[in-house]
Amino acid sequence: MSSYRFRRDLDDSAAEVWRPLDRALAHWVRAHGGSAELAAVAAWASLADGLGDAALPLRGEDAGRHGMARLSDAALAALRQQPLVGDGSRRTPFVLDADDRFALWRNHADETAIAACLRQRRSAADPVDGAAVKAAVDALFGGDRTRRVQAQRMAVAGVAGRRLFVLTGGPGTGKTTTVLRMLLLLQRVQPQRLLIQVAAPTGKAAQRLLQSLRQGKMQLSQGEHALGEEWSAALAGIADAEAPTLHRLLGYDPRRNVFTRNRRRPLAADIVVVDEASMVDLALLRALLDALRPQARLILVGDADQLTSVAAGSTLMDLVAALEPQRAAELVRLQHSFRAERELVRVNEAVRSGDAAELDAALAAAPQRALLRPVGDAAVLAAALQQWALQLAGSGIAGDDADAGDAASAALAALRRLSQRQLLCALREDAFGALAANAAIEAQLRRHWQVAAEALWYPGRAVMITRNDYALRLFNGDIGLCLADADGSLRVWFETVDAAGQATARWLAPDRLPLHEGAFAVTVHKSQGSEYAEAAVLLPPDPEQRILSRQLLYTGVSRAKQRLQIWALPSVLAAALARPIRRAGGLAAKLRDGPAPPDQFELF
Contact 50, 43 (CB under 8 A): no
State how far the Cα of 6 lies from the Cα of 3, in Å rounded to an integer.
Answer: 10
Residue 175 assigned to a binding site: yes
Please give the Cα distance from 121 to 295 (Å, whole number).
9
Give me the count of residues in the chain.
604
Q: Which residues are 197's β-sheet partners? A: 272
CB 397 within 8 A of CB 441: no
Helix (H) or strand (E) holding 446: helix 434-449
CA distances (Å), 186 to each of 129, 191, 243, 435, 597, in order? 12, 10, 19, 45, 31
Residue 14's region, left for phi above 0, alpha for psi from -120 to 50, else beta, is alpha
Residue 251 is labelled as binding a ligand: no
With a CB cutoff of 8 Å and minimum separation 6, the contacts of 343 are 362, 365, 366, 369, 370
Three-point CA angle 232, 233, 235, nearest 5°? 65
> Residue 170 annotated as binding?
yes
Residue 174 labelled as part of a binding site: yes
496 annotated ligand-binding residue: no
Report whether 479 contacts 419 (CB < 8 A): yes
CA 268 to chain centre: 25
Collapse the DSSP code of 507 into the 3-class scheme (helix H, G, I; strand E, B; otherwise coil) and give the result: strand
Question: Which residues in 308-405 belong to E strands, given as ranges?
Answer: 331-334, 370-373
Residue among 426, 436, 414 nearest 520 (CA) = 436
Distance (Å, rounded) from C-alpha 459 to C-alpha 481? 8
| Number of neighbouring beta carbons within 10 Å of residue 440 | 20
CA distances 546 to 64, 472, 519, 541, Å, are 16, 37, 24, 12
Paired with 491 in beta bridges are 483
**Rg over CA atoms, the chain:** 26
Residue 216 marked as a ligand binder: no
The H or E element that residue 119 is part of is helix 105-123
526 is known to lie in a ligand binding site: no
- Beta-bridge partner residues of 273: 198, 299
DSSP state of 337: -
Could you tell me which residues are annotated as the binding site for ATP? 169-176
Could you tell me which residues are annotated as the binding site? 169-176
